[in-house]
Chains A and B, each alone.
Chain A
Amino acid sequence: MADTTPITAPSPAPPSRLRRAWESDLAWSFRHAPVAMASFFVVTLLILGAVLAPLIAPHDPFDPATLNLMNGFTPPGQANAFTGELFLLGTDDQGRDVFSTILYGMRISLFVGFSAVLLAMVLGVTLGLLAGYVGGWTETIIMRIADVQLTFPAILVAMLIFGIAKGITPPEYRNEMAIWVLILAIGLSDWVQFARVVRGATLVEKNKEYIQAARLIGRTPFSIMLRHILPNVLNPVLVIATISLALAIIAEATLSFLGVGAPPTKPSLGTLIRIGQEFMFSGEWWILLFPAATLLALALSINLLGDWLRDALNPRLR
């Protein structure tokens, strides 16, 4: 035995980070889900469009000084009868280029969506961890608040928060504040989902041996929650966050559609749809159709991605 040196195969160079990611289970599952790939492509395209809007968009619809009312209601791809200007997707009632307005509107929709989900996630995960780990009265109070809030539709809670916030902001800041208020309203209406899932997962994790060990060696509760429990409950959080993103974008669109969200001078996708639906019967279909189609594509792709992520991360479904 001693003289026989084991013949080891020449060990391959450690795979690069990228390579490891490519070969991971998640990536494998992604490569075998055409729907997920298509959704990912659409989402990426739309996000790129939104982020690069100032470079791509032919007009800046948020600068009222550049608008010419006479360009109003130009059909897509046709020259305006008065000014002779041409617009790819036509113009709306104020003479704004619909294509540019969609790109800029999407910036608002995505920004509000991402920020609101981030807020909901931070709030929900923190409260969920606290409720699950500390237990007792803390848990009762947090979870009962969550239960009460769940009995109201999220959009109603958001409208309530929006109404209060609008009432207390001084009028001269109202337009600038509108977007932050939207984020606050949607974020606060959406934390419950995160809190419930995280609490449930925490309850399971906290009795496992590694947590008991961590407790025995004197780790503080804060450090245990952050370092040990949190990483192990993140998978479901990621899934909820993705689906919440689609919901938040739709919630923003709904609020703006109802006229309580983004102001008409700085329209988001929902505001554009609200403007467009006024011209539904009169033949100016492009004002409604293009923003609505964009919102549909955005929300649907994010939702499909979320679905795929849920399946991919759920070991029981594999």
Chain B
Amino acid sequence: MKKTAFLAAALLAGTAIGASAETLRWARAGDSLTLDPHAQNEGPTHTLSHQMYEPLIIRDMTGAFQAALATDWAPKADNPDVWVFNLRQGVTFHDGADFTAEDVVFSINRAKSENSNMKELLNSIVEVRAVDDHTVEFVTDGPNPILPSNLTNLFMMDKGWAEANDSVDVQQVEAGEKTFASSNTNGTGPYKLVSREPDVKTVLTLNEDYWGNDAFPLDVTEIVYTPIQNAATRVAALLSGEVDFIQDVPVQDLNRVAQTDGLVVKTAPQNRVIFFGMNMGADDIENDNVEGKNPLADVRVRRAMSMAINRDAIQQVVMRGQSAPAGMIAPPFVNGWTEEMDSASKTDVDAAKALMEEAGYGDGFSIQLDCPNDRYVNDEAICQAAVGMLAQIGVTVNLDAKPKAQHFPLITNGETDFYMLGWGVPTYDSEYIFNFLVHTRGSDRGSWNGTGYSNPELDEMIVSLSSETDLDKRNATIQAIWDVVQEEQLYIPIHHQVLNWGMAEKVGTEVSPEDDPKFKFFTMN
């Protein structure tokens, strides 16, 4: 059935072949952090990888599952612990090598390895085995009903290419390592890498041998990607026609862009929440003025800090309405989100002061806030606003804003005491948040948990989620974990982001809630 539909689509699309070459000039605030597809679990990094590499299952521009390198997948009838994936036939990598089951086994094992930043998504997988050239079995530790949604950003690499180029091990980004795979690509995707100068310019060109050449619009034949950090420069580039598509129109310039002839702004709520993390686990933190103890270890201090943040003011002034104040660190798209928890944040400076007094910090303390300045919408301005709000309860904040390439390693290396982070949830399930942000930092979970928080009981509950098949029971556990996260004020939620894509009229696309344009779906008229 699937095959005939595919053939029909191929025949229909066949008439469109011969469309003229179209270059899409694309800009956003920040660049991809690396080309190694398993080294950084970060939005813009995956977005660039998606053009060149492919996962088994992809989410289309509306967020719905679509077959990519796998044509279909289902748990084995006689054993719910095994997922069977049938792979697409006749797919080749950019260098001409065939895509086979061996490559899937290699890629999944690579993504599960020590240095990988993707392993939290795969820790329920015990074994991956090739049944034949185009069938793969994933053996999980107990049944895992949500396994497919964990695979949408897990890219397939060519085993032979990785071995030949000394890239079997995942690049260690935090250690500043450079590998062949961090600056070269060999995927199965619709676009091939032509040239790349990190933070300056990346050029991709259409892969003529792409398996989906007839199944997707593929109107864009060349992509020129230039990160432009400065908001005014970025919007000027769009207004002047220097670029065709920007992913982050500054909120103050929405009207201006929308009212310009030939340009459109498309808006959608993003599957991403912005929050502050606090290093509560350390005995004494580095960058504060309190000696011998850690003020953030006291939950009253954390609650007071959250109460000092006026989220409505941030929404109205800094974000100009382009955000929704948050009370939990899960976006409304996610299983486990409740309206009650999401409206839990209250601003109350007097109560916050009282809490500080009660915790013994009536005179306040000083601390450093690490903040990115090229990742989230108005990230630095939000941090600056927080500096003023926290000053009202006596917390003196030194703001250090820097590009994300320097900011993120501080979190993954545990070198920051107070930081801003945004988290999108590509699996649409709370487990993803818990695995990365709540579980104790260890070898296979908690890699983005910069709080130093460790609760063995909670860890056990988190681990149990991956093999719980009774959905009601699983949801009850998720709720129980959220209760602890909220009670402990593990993070200070700020808001849910709203996406504003600005583009020339000729560019046709929907806004994906993950903020990850996949250009094979784009039309150009």
Contact = CB atoms under 8 A, between A and B. Distances in A.
Interface stretch (A69-77, A111-119, A206-214): A69-77
Contacts of A8: none
A67 B236 contact: no
Nearest to B401: A264
Contacts of B392: 65
Interface in A137-177: 171-172, 174-175
B343 interface: no
A97 interface: no
A284 interface: yes
Contacts, number: 85
Nearest to B396: A64
Contacts of B314: 69
A156 to B, nearest CB: 18
A264 B250 contact: no
Interface residues of B, number: 39
A95 B317 contact: yes
Nearest to B392: A65
Nearest to B393: A65
Contact of A175 (B252, B255, B288, B398): B398
Contacts of B252: 278-279, 281-282, 284
Identify whether the interface residues of A are mostly helix, strand, loop, or mixed.
loop
Contacts of A263: 399
Interface string B358-385: 0000000010100001000000110011
Contacts of B230: 278
Identify whether the interface residues of B are mostly helix, strand, loop, or mixed.
helix
B387 interface: yes
A171 B287 contact: yes
B473 interface: no
Contact of B368 (A64, A67, A171): A171
Nearest to A67: B388
A69 B399 contact: no
A281 B239 contact: yes
A238 B230 CA distance: 39
A277 interface: yes
B314 to A, nearest CB: 7
A94 interface: yes
Given A69-B313, A70-B317, A64 B400 contact: no
Given A94-B381, A264-B384, A282 B256 contact: yes
A3 interface: no
B310 A172 contact: no
A281 B256 CA distance: 7
A228 to B, nearest CB: 50
A130 B384 CA distance: 48
A277 B366 CA distance: 30
B379 to A, nearest CB: 12
B388 A64 contact: yes
29 contacts: A64-B390, A65-B388, A68-B388, A69-B317, A69-B389, A72-B317, A82-B316, A94-B381, A94-B388, A171-B287, A171-B368, A171-B398, A171-B400, A172-B286, A174-B398, A264-B380, A264-B399, A264-B401, A265-B387, A265-B399, A277-B232, A278-B250, A278-B252, A279-B232, A279-B252, A281-B252, A282-B255, A282-B256, A284-B252
Interface of B: 230-232, 235-236, 239, 250, 252-253, 255-256, 286-289, 310, 313-314, 316-318, 366, 368, 373, 380-381, 384-385, 387-392, 397-401
Given A69-B318, A278-B250, 4 more contacts: A72-B317, A171-B287, A172-B366, A281-B235
